[in-house]
Structure formats: C-alpha cells, structure tokens
Amino acid sequence: MNSDQAMSSLWYMLALVLVGSALLARRAPMSGMLRMAMMWVVIFAALLGLFKIGEKYGLFSSRSGAGGGLPAAPPPARVDGQALHIPIAADGHYWVEGSVNGSPVRFLIDSGASVTALSVASARTAGLNFDLDASGVSMMTANGKIDAKRSTIATLAIGPIRASDLDIVISPAFGDVNVIGMNMLSRLKSWGVQGGEMVLTP
C-alpha cells in the first residue's frame, strides 16, 4: 500500500467513525439509524465515484506552480519542418521530453514562468554546479515564496530546438517538475498554441 492509499484509507475510517458517532449520539430507533447509515454510504460512494472519474480525466490534477507532479506518460511531440508540435496532456498542460547537457529531462512548458527551472534531481543528473546551502534568490511562485539557486545550462534540447548558456534556477520546492520558462521561449522565432498544440519554432 503506497502513501496515497494509506491516506485514503485513513480518511474513509475517520469519515465512518464520524458518521457512526453522530448516529449513536442521536439515540434514534435502530431502523432510523440503519436508514441514515445507508444514506451516508450512498453519499460517500457517490463522492468517491465522482472523485475517481475526475482523476481519470485529469480534472483534479493541477500544477499551478512549483511542487507539482509529473503526468504518467504525456503524448509524444512531433516535428513538422523546423517546428515542434507538443500536444496537450490529460492534465491540461504541455509536457515535452528533452535533455539537459545530454541527460533526459521532462519539461513543462510554462509561459507564466519568467525563468527556466530544474528540480534538484534533474540538475544533479545533468552535472550542474549548485550548492543548496549557499545563498540564493527569492522567487514568488503560485505556491508562495521560495528560495532558489542560480545555475547555467550548457545545452538544452527539445526536439529540433537547441539553446546554449541558458540561465536557470534550482530548488527542492519544485519537486520533480522541470519548467521551460520565458527566458527560453523568448529565444524562439515563435511560440504559441495552435489547434490544441503548443507549437515552438526555432
């Protein structure tokens, strides 16, 4: 059982204890208590069903800033001439496979981010120079103020697009998420959404 399943089971047990204690406190007749208990079971089952449907279609996943999670398998990008077409993922975001200094990295394209950002794990795998204990820079994200460390990528590649000497930030607050921000997008000839795809042209 993983941590999500354990937390889910704990939540269900607490909900049942709450409902059971409320029913016992009312000292209602047994038939009334059974009807009330069945009604609560139906309500919880309906809520659980809605939640599972929402998870399946990505309605409850959100990465509105640092610390979010990666989609299981984003749809693959395709190259058309020099342009890179990135389909929208189930979570409503644009994810693309790329590389940093030759190491594979999955990126979220985020035009709301001013600077490209790497997770600590991706930065270490790519052999970047940074010290988490050194003074860094304060940044405001959708999840609040964080402390990040500055570094530079020698080469970043996504499809036919290459960038050299790109300034980035690194922070444990980013979780597993790596972000391509405006300092990378601004180097492109063009970028934007066309027909449900993010199109990047070098």
Q: Is 185 helix (H, G, I), strand (E, B) or coil?
A: helix
- Report the number of distinct structural domains present in the chain: 2
Asked if residue 82 belongs to a domain, the reply is yes
Residues 82 and 173 in one domain: yes
Tell me, what's the pLDDT at 11?
63
Q: pTM above the 0.85 mark?
A: no
Residues 91 and 50 in one domain: no
The percent of residues above 90 in pLDDT, for the chain, comes to 51
Q: What would the two tokens of residue 144 be? A: 């609040």
Query: In this predicted model, what pLDDT tens digit does every residue of 99-131 receive, in sequence order?
Result: 999 999 999 999 999 999 999 999 999 999 888
Residues 165 and 112 in one domain: yes
Asked if residue 69 belongs to a domain, the reply is no
Query: In this predicted model, what pLDDT tens digit does every residue of 59-68 receive, in sequence order?
Result: 444 343 444 5
pLDDT, mean of residues 45-56: 62
Asked if residue 132 belongs to a domain, the reply is yes
How far apart CA 160 and CA 100 sit, in angstroms, is 14
Q: What is the mean pLDDT of the chain?
A: 81
pLDDT of 5 above 60: no
Among the ranges given (34-43, 54-63, 83-92, 171-180), the one the predictor scored with the smallest mean pLDDT: 54-63
Helix then strand count (H, E) for the chain reads 4, 11
pLDDT of 10 above 70: no
Tell me, what's the pLDDT at 154?
96
Beta bridge partners of 145: 140
Asked if residue 35 belongs to a domain, the reply is yes
Among the ranges given (10-19, 96-105, 135-144, 157-166), the one the predictor scored with the smallest mean pLDDT: 10-19
Tell me, what's the pLDDT at 7?
55
Asked if residue 113 belongs to a domain, the reply is yes
Residues 125 and 173 in one domain: yes
Nearest to 105 by CA among 131, 88, 138, 128: 128
Task: Residue 183: give its domain's CATH number.
Answer: 2.40.70.10
Q: What would the two tokens of residue 10 be? A: 């704990």
Residues 40 and 122 in one domain: no
Q: Which domain, by its residues, includes 103?
A: 78-201
Residues 47 and 84 in one domain: no
